[in-house]
Structure 1
Amino acid sequence: MSRSERSPLLLAGLLATAGAAHFVSPRQFDAIVPRALPGSPRTWTYASGAAELALAAGLALPRTRRTSALATAAFFVGVFPANVKMAVDWRRRPARQKAAAFGRLPLQAPLVLWARAVAKGAEAAS
Structure 2
Amino acid sequence: MPAFRSARARSRALVPAAVLAGMFAVTGAMHFLRPEIFDPIVPRRLPGSSRSWTYASGAAELLLAALIASRRSRNLGGLLAAGFLVAVFPANLRTVRVVRRQPLPVRLIALARLPLQVPLVALALQVGRREGASR
Partner amino acid, structure 2, of 1:38: P
TM-score by length of 1: 0.96
Alignment deviations for residues 17-70 of structure 1 (CA, whole Å, 9 cap, x no partner): 000000000001001000000000000000000000000000011111111110
Work out the CA distance in 2 between the residues paired with 1:23 and 1:89.
20
Work out the CA distance in 2 between the residues paired with 1:97 and 1:33.
18
Seq. identity, % = 49
* Number of corresponding residues: 126
Question: RMSD of aligned C-alpha atoms?
Answer: 1.0
Query: Which has the larger Rg?
Result: 2
Q: How does 1:1-126 map to 2 (within 5 A)?
A: 2-126=11-135
Please, which runs of 5 or more residues in structure 2 have no aligned partner?
Answer: 1-9
The 4+ residue runs of structure 1 with deviation greater than 2 A are: none
Partner amino acid, structure 1, of 2:33: V
- Higher mean Cα deviation, 116-125 or 43-52? 116-125
Work out the CA distance in 1 between the residues paired with 2:70 and 2:134.
13
TM-score by length of 2: 0.90
SS in 2 for 1:34: coil
Alignment deviations for residues 57-92 of structure 1 (CA, whole Å, 9 cap, x no partner): 000111111111100000000110001001012223
